[in-house]
Structure 1
Amino acid sequence: MKQQKLFTCQDIAHESEVIQGFCLNFGCQDAKSQFCLQCGFDPKKHTNCKKDLKVFGQIQSFITKFNQYLFELTTQLNKSYQSVKIKYEEFIKELEKMKIQLLKISEYLFQQDYKQIKDNLLIIKECYQFSNNQEEIIKQNQIGTQLQ
């Protein structure tokens, strides 16, 4: 009997009317979000949110569509993740190659193999330039932070 009361209108003027659905507007000013047919037609109820009065079938349809949207979003996110993962793995391989190359250059320096050092001078210059640029970026970020 109590469940029957929950699905009948709580408005005294039409308390035996069956609830048709709910208002889905967050800003709804009415005390109760459920509505019966009379509440839906009453010009004093849900004055600013008539378009947000949704019957149970519409709510079910919305939930189904939103669930499909979440599925598509998850699929898209998984594809993006896979793409980023591939790029990450490629970048890690390049970094590993560079580390090996730098270890070799270090060994050439230790052995004073200046021909090999000269042959690898471009790599040394690129690393040096990158390092200087990183230091400059850090300095600029610190200056920007201090100005704020």
Structure 2
Amino acid sequence: MEIFKCRYVNHENEEIIGFCLNQNCQKATQYCYQCLTQTHSDHLSDCIRFATMSQLINQFIQVYKESNKQIKETIHQMKNCFEQIQKQMDQEIILLQNMNQKLLNNEYLTFKSEINIIKQFYSKEKENSICIQLINFKRVINNRIQQIS
């Protein structure tokens, strides 16, 4: 394996020992011991030796794995919530269809006993409830996205 050598004058034969990860550093990313003490001395903590670079990368991997796991859990929870809302809406559609059939079949007394259901729909109470749930879910999703970003 070829040894990675420094290219700066006066220490071009020095072995490169790591990389500078400082976003604002304008010097060469790779560094030797002399570069570290001369060129990168104001941000030593951003200079990572080869020996610890792998550990750092593994930490990044773990953070992303954990974030990915949390995203999957959140998606699963949201999916369950939406499925519950959808199931509730499907049941209400069936209820309304049954009520409409009673009305069409002239079953007025039976229909009258369920008139409160129609009143809830007529007043938009049911519709507003669903809208509020959806708005709350969107808010939760947006908050989660902001936490991840």
TM category, shorter: 0.7 to 0.9
Q: For 1:76 and 1:16, how far apart are their aligned partners in 2?
A: 48
Q: Offset of 1:14 from its aligned partner? A: 0.3
- Structure 1 residue 79 corresponds to structure 2 residue 73: yes
1:105 corresponds to which of 99, 102, 113: 99
Q: Offset of 1:22 from its aligned partner? A: 0.7
SS in 2 for 1:14: coil
The letter of the residue matching 2:121 is C
Question: Which position in structure 2 is the counterpart of 1:60?
Answer: 54
- Structure 1 residue 29 corresponds to structure 2 residue 26: yes
TM-score normalised by structure 2 residue count: 0.75
Identity between Structure 1 and Structure 2 (%): 29
Runs of 4+ in 1 over 6 A off after TM superposition: none
Q: For 1:120 and 1:132, how far apart are their aligned partners in 2?
A: 15
TM-score normalised by structure 1 residue count: 0.75
> How many pairs align?
129
1:128 corresponds to which of 122, 131, 142: 122
- Work out which of the two has the higher radius of gyration on C-alpha atoms and give 1 or 2: 1
* Deviations 1:52-99, CA, capped at 9 Å, x for gaps: 111112211111111111122222222222222222222221111111
Q: For 1:67 and 1:122, how far apart are their aligned partners in 2?
A: 56
Runs (5+) with no aligned partner, structure 1 = 138-148
Moved more, 117-126 or 14-23: 117-126
